[in-house]
Structure 1
Amino acid sequence: MALFVLSTLVLVLAYAASFTLRPAPLWSWVWKVALAVGEYGVWFLPLAVGLGGIALVSTDGAWRVGLVTLCAFATIALLRPLASAWRNGARLETDLAAAFGAGARPPMRPFSLARLVFHGGAAVAPVETHVFSRGGGEELKLDFYRARGTTPAGAPCLVVVHGGGWDGGERTQIPAWNHRWASRGYAVAAITYRLAPRFVWPAQRDDVLAALAWLKAHARELGLDAGRFVLLGRSAGGQIATAVAYGARDPAIRGVISFYAPQDMEFAWGVSREDDALNSIKLMRQYLGGPPDTPERRQLYASASAQAMIGPATPPTLLLHGAPDTLVWHRHSERLAAALAAVGARHFFLSLPWATHAFDFNPDGPGGQLADYAIETFLRATTGAPIP
């Protein structure tokens, strides 16, 4: 019985750890396992070492060789994100300086082993909730995090657009990031938008624009600079944020940050499958009203695609994506980065070799730390607001 329990634990751990080396299968829950071992792997390392030690002293023969080998494999796989983050961090400063200028470099390290355990959180500040629109009969709210140490000129503002496949999600996602940015002198507005299938695009674009208009109108009382906004979105929210930023041509939008998002919706339709973890075909039908099979629908798809709107007024762009992401293909960000490079638009693409979807769920994990450094550099470069 003891051998059965030990071997089961070792096999499960080795299987889970393997997702730091390969994409997770297209099952609805497995990507969460990949997220756990990739961004919280430091907490699984003692388990791998401990199980290996138990196998070494309590088994013999082929069982000992097999179990110890699997534990060694799990240990190496769990260390892979840390080693990769260390290597990426070593060149991240130089790469970001080349993209946005050396003067935007923040006074922090891209990656720290100590931060994996002791964290780099910020004080939790009160959150104000405001109604910014009643479009389409929906009461749309935003959560506002006031910037610490604001100046008379007002703070730059991050407008955060949540993910959720366009038919779900909440503005309350990963609030630790919002508190962190507010503690560094950036106001944050985490917004709600109307969801599919009841509301199709461009309702979501209109809601983001309504939030921007409301924030500008209330800038003085909120302590904002109405001319310095950066949009940030995750997954579906990343698609909305980039489409709005590229399409609005508003000089007050100083930049856009997109995590693991589709950027060319006709391309996304072409590579989507009904049997993937998200049932992407269904999500896109709900969101865009159907396939891109008519001139009118193709025009609608283009209006939701940042890649179709690149031009001289394209704002600076920061893209972040994990290479083995099985929910939103890494190729989406690769293609947009290549298109931006082709026209000389200011941008940076942070590609993480081990990371899966939602890798920033842990702001102090390997992916979270590199994202934190890249975002801080980007904000300083685009808004001119240093850490207070």
Structure 2
Amino acid sequence: MVIRWIVALLGLALAALLATITFVIAWASIPPPLIPLSLLVSNFGLYLIPAGLLGLGIGAILTQRRNARTLRGVGKLVSIVAVVAMIGACFPLVASWREANRQNADLSVLGYLTGGSNSGKPLAEMSTTYATVDGTDLLLDPKLPPHASSSPRPAVVWVHGGGWSAGDRGEVPRWHQWLNDRGYAVFAIEYRLAPPPRWNQAPGDVKCAVGWVKEHAREFGVDPDRVMLAGGSAGGNLALMGGYADERVPASCPVGDTTVRAIAAFYPPADLALGYQESGDPEYARKVLRDYIGGTPEEFPDRYAAASPITYARPGVPPTLLLHGTRDHIVDYGQSELLAAKLTDAGVQHELLPIPYGDHAYDFTWGDWGTQISRQVFARFLDRHFPAA
């Protein structure tokens, strides 16, 4: 009998978890403490189905006639919650497959189950200082394709995220490897972090890195005329700033050409003042923005505008790919919609890929449905605007 009560307690705990996750799926606006569960749905939503089946199994054990009435009641409750949770889990699943169909992208269940993590560390043995600014060494890791090339390769300068105050060049190594396998050299860079405020320094560091790559192109077998920027979150913001910002945002080191041919930005903060006001996690968003800018939008409206890529969206900026989860609770999906609308008005070639139920940093799980779709859309964008050959 004791074992059955232990099973009942486990069933109730599982039911509570499944019920909370179902709430997260059903409502886009959730309390900040539940954001980790939204990330769970975003990156591991398929596993909710076996969790629901486990709940049904527990319910079947508890509803046996030989059990006490209370145990049978718990079993029925757990079973009902498990069924509802599995139905709820189908909504992100179906939405992802429908988006894949719209994008003509193939999805793999095996790839989902075996994809693994997309996190890593800097490769200290290959790190290079691309500039020293105000006593700070700015590092990058050059990552080259495994096969020799008879002609110079295109290069992707990758900018890490972390709220402008954390993170490093070791972020998302699977994207770097994926680009290497397609024939692109990758330069994963770092920049000066906040605090103190870096709104007028970090974008210049990115431009400095681009200029450095162009000046040292021959050393790495890179074509200096074929360089693009990419990054996620704060790195997406800085990638856009590095490609969009005009002479008002100079490079932080003495380099020549810093122009790029294309930009790929994952869930980027495009309008920082809007991001301060509209975030699913306002405490976090406002803290990192105050650290980066030096205060609030009311105190420094000019700084917020100067650090926002949407300010510089105009005819002639590089072709742009935006990839953003529709359930992003850190940087609202609407920010990429606003930027895409402004690019449309400016006649700039661009694409916006919505990741259904995707939360912030969805691509940190390499097998996730959204990541699988993103790889294929990114590949087509590269073939169209920044081909390797």
SS at match of 2:177: helix
Q: Could you tell me which residue of structure 2 aligns to residue 38 of structure 1? A: 42
Q: 2:147, 2:23 → 1: CA distance? A: 45
Determine if contact 1:277/1:327 at 8 Å carries over to the other structure: no
Cα deviation code 1:281-328 (max 9, x no counterpart): 33222212223447xx44433321211112221111111111221111
Q: 1:148 aligns with which of 146, 149, 156?
A: 146
Determine if contact 2:39/2:359 at 8 Å carries over to the other structure: yes
In structure 1, what residue type is equivalent to 2:138?
A: L
Distance 1:116 1:17, change over 3 A: farther
Runs of 4+ more than 6 Å apart? none
**1:272 shift after superposition:** 5.8
Q: 1:251, 1:276 → 2: CA distance? A: 34
Cα deviation code 1:204-244 (max 9, x no counterpart): 01111111111112111212111112211211111111112
Q: 1:318 aligns with which of 318, 321, 325?
A: 321
Q: Could you tell me which residue of structure 2 aligns to residue 100 of structure 1? A: none
Distance 1:367 1:20, change over 3 A: farther
Q: Could you tell me which residue of structure 1 aligns to residue 289 of structure 2? A: 284
Q: Could you tell me which residue of structure 2 aligns to residue 306 of structure 1? A: 309
Determine if contact 2:182/2:388 at 8 Å carries over to the other structure: no
In structure 2, what residue type is equivalent to 1:58?
A: L
**1:196 shift after superposition:** 1.0
Q: 2:205, 2:228 → 1: CA distance? A: 16
Unpaired stretches in structure 1, ≥5 consecutive residues: 94-108
Distance 1:41 1:212, change over 3 A: same
Query: TM-score w.r.t. structure 2 length?
Result: 0.85
Q: More relative contact order in 1 or in 2 (CA 8 Å, sep 6+)? A: 1
Establish whether residue 114 from structure 1 lines up as the match of residue 120 from structure 2: no
Q: 2:193 aligns with which of 189, 192, 195?
A: 195
Q: 1:72 aligns with which of 78, 83, 89?
A: 83
Cα deviation code 1:315-367 (max 9, x no counterpart): 11111111221111111111111111222211111112311111111121111
Q: Could you tell me which residue of structure 1 aligns to residue 384 of structure 2? A: 381
Determine if contact 2:235/2:268 at 8 Å carries over to the other structure: yes
Q: 1:232, 1:21 → 2: CA distance? A: 32
Determine if contact 2:163/2:233 at 8 Å carries over to the other structure: yes
Establish whether residue 268 from structure 1 lines up as the match of residue 275 from structure 2: yes
RMSD over aligned CA atoms reads 2.6
Q: 1:293, 1:353 → 2: CA distance? A: 33
Cα deviation code 1:143-164 (max 9, x no counterpart): 1210233533322112111111
**1:27 shift after superposition:** 2.5
SS at match of 2:92: helix
In structure 1, what residue type is equivalent to 2:100?
A: G
Q: Could you tell me which residue of structure 2 aligns to residue 99 of structure 1? A: none
Establish whether residue 85 from structure 1 lines up as the match of residue 91 from structure 2: no
Alignment of 1:1-388 (within 5 A): 1=5, 2-23=7-28, 25-27=30-32, 30-59=34-63, 62-93=73-104, 109-119=105-115, 128-248=126-246, 252-271=259-278, 276-278=282-284, 280-293=285-298, 297-385=300-388
Cα deviation code 1:5-38 (max 9, x no counterpart): 211112213322443333363435x323222232
Determine if contact 1:116/1:364 at 8 Å carries over to the other structure: yes
Distance 1:150 1:18, change over 3 A: farther
SS at match of 1:237: helix
Q: 1:199, 1:134 → 2: CA distance? A: 18
Residues matched between the structures, number: 364
Structure with greater Cα Rg: 2
> Which region of structure 1 is more displaced relative to structure 2, 113-122 or 154-163?
113-122
Cα deviation code 1:10-68 (max 9, x no counterpart): 2213322443333363435x323222232223334322212212212422654343221
In structure 1, what residue type is equivalent to 2:25?
A: T
Q: 1:83, 1:246 → 2: CA distance? A: 36
In structure 2, what residue type is equivalent to 1:54?
A: I
In structure 1, what residue type is equivalent to 2:46?
A: V
In structure 2, what residue type is equivalent to 1:176?
A: R
Distance 1:3 1:272, change over 3 A: closer
Q: 2:283, 2:107 → 1: CA distance? A: 31
Q: 2:108, 2:126 → 1: CA distance? A: 33
In structure 1, what residue type is equivalent to 2:78?
A: L
Q: 1:218, 1:346 → 2: CA distance? A: 29
> Which region of structure 1 is more displaced relative to structure 2, 70-79 or 358-367?
70-79
Tell me the percent identity.
32
Determine if contact 1:227/1:251 at 8 Å carries over to the other structure: no
